Structure formats: structure tokens, C-alpha cells
Amino acid sequence: MSHDPYPPPHRTPPPYAASPPSPSPQPQPQPHPQPHRQPHLTYPWQPAPAPAPPPPGPAPRRQPQHAPLGHHSDLRVLRTAYRWQRRVATLTALGYFLVFLVLSACAPSVTTARVADGLPAGLLLALAQLPVTLLAIALYEHTARRHVDPLARRIRHQAEVDARREARR
């Protein structure tokens, strides 16, 4: 409902143009200019009048003819390569640890079996965790050099080329 049951207050009528004749001419009162006032709001929850629209912004810039820095497909490929790199290294280390835990819980006879001179297989499996972790680190570095670094180098080179193009403009 947009109907306001209480109309805004009435304005005072302008002074009468005709005045009774008087023996001496009196100067006519000059109307005072009214200062700009905000409209009276009957209810506090009434919305305030809409402000003037902002001035239009600057003209839009023209689009470059080449793909912009951080082209989506390049970054997507780099993220995918980095994701695979993390997964391979993490699953190598955690996978071995999970195998060790499953053997300890489900097949205790395997971990308690003596391998040599009273050395249990569980202890050898636990000690082998360090070389497996080092293998995971080496695998991480290998996949970084082989897959991720060339992609990052290509994107970095493209950023330099884009920066030089922008500097010439």
C-alpha cells in the first residue's frame, strides 16, 4: 500500500496582493526565498527520497588483442598439475603408512613374525617409513621439475610479455 493516510502539512498561502487603501504608501513585503528542505516524513519508516544518480563514469577501455595475463586455461592447467603433484606425493607417504596400520591391526601375525635374529617384521616396516617419506619428497620434486615448473615458467614469461606491451601503450 503506497497510499499515505496523512497528507503532508499545508503551506501557508502567499500574502494578499490587494491591501486596503492607506493614507501613506507602505512598502510591500518581499517574499523570502525558502531554503531547500527535505520533505517531511510522516512515519520514520518511510523511505527517504532517492538521491540523485551518480555522474557517469569514464569511458570503458578497449579490450587488448591478446589474451590477458593469467589466461584462465593456463592457470587451470597449472592448478591441475600442482594438484596432481601434491596428490602423488601425499598418497605415496600416507599410502605406505596406511598399509603399515592395516597390517598391524588386521594381520598381527605378519608384524610379529621374526625376520632375522629376533627382529620383528613390524619394526622393519616402521623403520622403512623414513625411506618411503624421503621417496615421497623426491617424487614431489621430480613431478615439480617435470610438470609444474615448465607451466609456471611459461605463465611467468607471458606475464613479462604482457607487462612490456602495457608499458609501450
How do residues 88-98 score in pLDDT, each as one tens digit?
Answer: 888 888 899 99
3-state secondary structure of 21: coil
- Highest mean pLDDT of the ranges 2-11, 46-55, 58-67, 105-114: 105-114
Residue (of 153, 21, 165, 160) closest to 74 by Cα position? 153
Helix pair angle (72-106, 149-168), 10° resolution = 160
Q: How confident is the model at residue 115 (pLDDT cuts 50, 70, 90)?
A: confident
Regarding pTM above 0.95, the answer is: no
Domain edges within the chain: 72-168
